């Protein structure tokens, strides 16, 4: 038992050491606020220095920043300042900065550079980052850059580009450590020490058989803790999650999350190891995919605030036009009851309440269902149970709201029939909302349509149409108007 010794040693050191006045914040803390964002004052000084063309001052300000913060800085300065900023901090523009840049910001900067410079950057980047940089260039520019690259790097990028976007093949890194199962722990350590060209950061070693098929995985902590003479075969875990190269990145992210993976082997259709995916890339994807669902549900397109404004306008306007169509359908339902409204205009005053509340209830259900589908929590197995669950919720909420608004209307306007009609319409429209909120996304999912993209249109059409129809229809039916 020498663990206590170490503790002992630490304690002795502690007793002897003078009080440390060291500051433990990250080195760039002066430019960051308490939420780790660049301070407005700091960004303002950079912008002022850029304005005054005091490029030494710009360099001096930016130099202490972490590459991720330099990348953020590019987003925060104005679009026309970005190329100037890049020029004034040229030798700080390392691969880490390029890799961290927002796609649109990077495209702007990269677009301004000659092909051979871009090729030079791409050669230094990890394959996945190089691909991210090149995949959005147009075909001709992409070819020009690839032509300038070393054959080996070019081959890696071309191979990555041969997989569809957002698949494991695009995402994977071709730098990984794979060794044959015959090695011992000692052999592996020697091999790692001798081979300087291996990646410097990796978390697991893949053990492959003679056909380069992965047969197991060794966490580095296990290797460090085993005697040298133990064969890797006895240390490795055989329980692996292999990622086919054509798997969608959202699916990959779900596997990482479900099985708490740090890295995973990517295999080709014949089962050969061709790359690895590490969790740091997955973190971005989980963030992106979850954000995508919010943005798609609300029809906000890509939602990237750095996207060129015309693309944003186009994406949002397309969605608004689709919604205009549904609004016209709903409005034509109201049109059917125009005479009733002319006779009893109070109907027009109250009808938006019924349709609006249905819309709100539908959106609630939709948000829950879309997330449950995206995270694999809602599957064929529990769909029926969830439909019943939403039905019960809708009935309860509809009844509560119906009583509330029905009672209120009856009292306020001294018209019990009007209260009964709006109360009943509220119950009906809540049921429509709850059922549409789950049936629409579940059905779309079954037809392999992304439920986040198109569900909202159908659900709000249903709640608008049924809201107006049930309220105005009941009003006419009961002889109210």
* Interacting positions 163-202 with its own copies (CB under 8 A): 179-180, 189, 191-195, 197-202
Which of 54, 55, 59, 76 binds its own copies (CB under 8 A)? It is 76
280 binds its own copies per the rule CB under 8 A = yes
Question: Three-state SS for 401?
Answer: helix
Which tokens is 409 given?
A: 């209307």
Please report the sign of the dihedral spanned by the C-alpha atoms of residue 270, residue 271, residue 277, residue 283: positive
Contacting residue, 8, 48, 78, 116, with its own copies by CB under 8 A? 78
* Shortest Cβ 225–its own copies spacing (Å): 5
Q: 166 in helix, strand or coil?
A: coil
Which x/- pattern, by CB under 8 A, does the window 204-223 give for its own copies?
Answer: ----xxxxxxx----xxxxx
Q: Reduce the DSSP state of residue 179 to 3 states and report it.
A: strand
283 belongs to the binding site for its own copies (CB under 8 A): yes
Q: Which of 57, 141, 158, 298 binds its own copies (CB under 8 A)?
A: 298
Helix (H) or strand (E) holding 361: helix 346-374
Q: Are 147 and 118 in contact (CB under 8 A)?
A: no
Question: In which region does residue 448 sit, left (phi positive, over 0), alpha (psi from -120 to 50) or beta (all else)?
Answer: left
For its own copies, the closer CB: 112 or 317: 317
**CB contact set of 104 (below 8 Å; sequence gap of 6+):** 304, 306, 307, 308
The pair of three-digit structure tokens given for residue 70, joined into one six-digit string: 């330099």
Smallest separation, CB 12 to its own copies (Å): 8
Nearest distance from residue 57's CB to its own copies, in Å?
A: 18
Which residue's entry shows tokens 């197991």? 216
| Residue placing its CB nearer to its own copies in the complex, 6 or 140 | 6
Mention every residue, 6+ apart, whose C-beta is less than 8 A from residue 242.
214, 264, 265, 266, 267, 271
Q: How far is the CB of 181 from its own copies (least distance, A)?
A: 9
- Report d(CA 267, CA 275) in Å as an integer: 7
Q: Measure the CA angle with vertex 437, ends 374 and 429; round to 5°.
A: 170
312 binds its own copies (CB under 8 A): yes
Write the binding mask 30 to 69 for its own copies: x where contact by CB under 8 A, - elsewhere: -----xxxx-x--xx---------------------x-x-
Stretch of 110-118, 135-143, 144-152, 276-284 contacting its own copies, by CB under 8 A: 276-284
Asked whether 315 and 300 are in contact (CB, 8 A), the reply is: yes
Residues of this chain, 87-146, that bind its own copies according to CB under 8 A = none
Name which of 267 and 439 has its Cβ closer to its own copies.
Answer: 267
Please report how close the Cβ of residue 60 comes to its own copies at its closest, in angstroms.
Answer: 19
Footprint of its own copies on residues 400-419 (CB under 8 A)?
Answer: 400-401, 404-405
Question: Min. distance of Cβ 148 from its own copies in angstroms?
Answer: 27
Residue 207 token pair? 């053990």
Under the criterion CB under 8 A, does residue 446 sit at the interface with its own copies?
no
**Of residues 94 and 114, the one with the C-beta less far from its own copies:** 94
196 exposure class (CB count in 10 Å sphere: 0-12, 13-18, 19+): exposed
**Exactly one of 45, 255, 407, 453 binds its own copies (CB under 8 A); which one?**
255
Which residues within the stretch 371-400 sit at the binding site for its own copies (CB under 8 A)? Answer: 371-372, 375-382, 385-386, 389, 392-393, 396-397, 400
**Is the Cα torsion angle 61, 63, 68, 72 positive or negative in sign?**
positive
* Other Cβ atoms within 10 Å of 120 Cβ, number: 15
Spatial separation of the C-alpha atoms in residues 481 and 473, rounded to whole Å: 10
CB-wise, 142 or 434, nearer to its own copies?
434
* Residues between 334 and 363 with contacts to its own copies, criterion CB under 8 A: 334-335, 338-339, 341-342, 345-353, 355-357, 360-361, 363
Question: Which residues sit opposite 276 in a β-bridge?
Answer: 173, 265
Determine if 234 is a binding residue for its own copies (CB under 8 A): no
Question: Which range of residues in 109-117, 137-145, 148-156, 285-293 is near its own copies by CB under 8 A?
Answer: 285-293
> Using an 8 Å Cβ cutoff, are 162 and 169 in contact?
yes
Measured CA to CA, the distance from residue 252 to residue 55 in angstroms comes to: 44
Give the binding-site size for its own copies (rule: CB under 8 A): 160
């Amino acid at each position: 038992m020498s663990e206590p010794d170490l503790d002992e040693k630490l304690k002795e050191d502690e007793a002897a050491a003078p009080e440390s006045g060291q500051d433990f914040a990250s080195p760039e803390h002066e430019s960051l606020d308490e939420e780790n964002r660049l301070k407005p004052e700091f960004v303002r000084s950079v912008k002022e220095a850029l304005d005054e063309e005091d490029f030494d001052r710009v360099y001096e300000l930016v130099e202490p920043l972490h590459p991720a913060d330099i990348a953020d800085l590019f987003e925060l300065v104005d679009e026309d300042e970005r190329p100037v900023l890049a020029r004034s901090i040229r030798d700080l523009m390392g691969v880490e900065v390029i890799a961290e840049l927002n796609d649109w910001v990077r495209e702007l900067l990269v677009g301004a550079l000659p092909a051979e410079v871009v090729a030079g950057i791409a050669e230094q980047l990890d394959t996945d980052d190089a691909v991210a940089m090149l995949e959005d260039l147009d075909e001709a520019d992409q070819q020009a850059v690839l032509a300038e690259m070393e054959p080996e790097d070019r081959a890696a990028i071309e191979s990555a580009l041969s997989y569809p976007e957002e698949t494991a093949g695009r995402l994977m890194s071709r730098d990984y450590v794979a060794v044959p199962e015959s090695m011992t722990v000692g052999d592996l350590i020697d091999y790692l020490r001798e081979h300087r060209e291996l990646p410097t950061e990796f978390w697991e070693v893949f053990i492959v058989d003679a056909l380069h098929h992965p047969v197991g995985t060794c966490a580095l902590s296990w290797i460090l803790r085993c005697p040298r003479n133990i064969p890797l075969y006895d240390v490795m875990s055989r329980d692996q999650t292999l990622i086919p190269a054509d798997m969608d990145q959202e699916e990959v992210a779900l596997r990482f999350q479900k099985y708490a993976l740090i890295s995973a082997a990517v295999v080709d259709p014949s089962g050969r190891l061709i790359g690895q995916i590490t969790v740091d890339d997955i973190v971005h994807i989980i963030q992106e995919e979850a954000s995508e669902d919010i943005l798609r549900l609300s029809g906000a397109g890509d939602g990237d605030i750095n996207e060129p404004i015309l693309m944003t306008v186009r994406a949002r306007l397309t969605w608004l036009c689709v919604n205009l169509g549904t609004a016209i359908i709903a409005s034509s339902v109201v049109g059917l009851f125009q005479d009733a409204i002319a006779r009893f205009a109070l109907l027009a005053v109250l009808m938006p309440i019924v349709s609006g509340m249905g819309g709100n209830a539908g959106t609630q259900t939709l948000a829950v269902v879309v997330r449950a589908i995206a995270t694999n929590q809602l599957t064929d197995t529990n769909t029926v149970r969830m439909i019943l669950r939403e039905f019960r919720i809708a009935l309860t909420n509809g009844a509560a709201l119906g009583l509330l608004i029905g009672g209120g209307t009856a009292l306020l306007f001294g018209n019990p029939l009007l209260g009964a009609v709006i109360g009943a319409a509220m119950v009906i429209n809540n049921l429509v909302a709850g059922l549409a909120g789950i049936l629409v996304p579940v059905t779309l999912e079954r037809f392999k349509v992304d439920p986040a993209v198109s569900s909202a249109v159908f659900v709000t059409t249903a709640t608008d149409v049924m809201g107006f129809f049930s309220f105005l229809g009941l009003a006419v039916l009961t002889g109210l108007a």
